[in-house]
Amino acid sequence: MQPTSPTLKNVRYLFTDIDDTISTEGKITQQAYDALWRAHDAGLVIVPVTGRPAGWCDHIARMWPVDGVIGENGGFYMRMTDQGLQRVFRYDDVARTGFRQRLQQIREEILLKVPGCGIASDQAYREYDLAIDFCEDVKPLTVDDVAEIVRIFESHGATAKISSIHVNGWFGDFDKLTMAKQYAQDVFGVSLIEENDCFAFCGDSPNDEPMFAYFKHSFGVANVRQFLPQMKSAPATITQSEAGAGFTEVVDAILRDRQTMS
């Protein structure tokens, strides 16, 4: 990563993807988890923004040194409060049930038309979306196969986003950025439009594009380079290291500037 810009001195909040951004080959390394704790102890507020399911996010909100977590690509957020775990969903129970029923038909079509793909192992813990595994627990699919999965979702009117491991498809009007804006307003009382300089984002894949495009301080860990040819919006800065080591670079850069300018 290039030498840190002094403008990072204003960053108080870091939104970040998890898979292949904080994690490395499916694990949270000691280095990356230490970075989360150093950020927490220094007052840098971190909110993971992930495609992972509600079941995982319940655990993350309770157990990780983070302010809260946005899950299923923006379908909800969860955070611990003095009253216990707070869950805020974009759509109510009835709507979510209807969405899942509509996704069942798409599920069967994808499994039939794209041999080798699979249903993500965390599907049982999801509230909104259908996650199709193309390389996490299955033999990696080709770019064309992944594109076909996206095409099938979109042919049914669903939104489809590619992460580093899954294609996530859902019904409803939301994405990572939509819920990040709501989280900032609900929890921090801050408008992302008016206070963009106070926020940063770190990610690694095409489903992070809305965030890369919106945030002044947007970072991609080095493994994002493999996706750049299929992305319209790239991060402003790319780290030298991949995955969790790259995430650590971002945290260190922000903390260094905050300390220098304090």
Structure confidence at residue 262 (pLDDT): 54
Reported as a single tens digit per residue, the pLDDT across 81-106 is 999 999 999 999 999 999 999 999 99
259 burial (CB, 10 Å; 0-12 / 13-18 / 19+) is: exposed
> Tokens at residue 131, please?
């996650």
Query: Helix crossing, 30-42 with 243-261: angle to 10°?
Result: 20
Q: State the residue for tokens 């069942």.
A: 104
Structure confidence at residue 259 (pLDDT): 79
Q: How far apart are CA 255 and CA 10, in angstroms?
A: 10
Give me the domains of the chain, ranges plus CATH numbers.
Answer: 6-90+174-261 (3.40.50.1000), 93-170 (3.90.1070.10)
**Adjacent-strand bridge partners of 24:** 27
Q: In what order do the strands lie in the sheet with 13-16?
A: 45-48, 13-16, 199-203, 217-220, 237-238
> Tokens at residue 18, please?
């998890």
Structure confidence at residue 221 (pLDDT): 98
Contacts of 156 (CB under 8 A, 6+ apart): 102, 105, 106
Contacts of 75 (CB under 8 A, 6+ apart): 89, 90, 91, 127, 128, 129, 170, 172, 174, 179
Instruction: Count other Cβ atoms within 10 Å, centred on residue 7.
Output: 12
Structure confidence at residue 7 (pLDDT): 83
% of the chain surpassing 70 pLDDT: 97
**Mean pLDDT by groups of 10 residues along the chain of 262 residues:** 67 98 97 98 98 98 98 98 97 97 97 98 97 98 98 98 96 97 98 94 96 97 96 96 98 91 56
Q: Which pTM was predicted?
A: 0.94
Reported as a single tens digit per residue, the pLDDT across 195-204 is 999 999 999 9
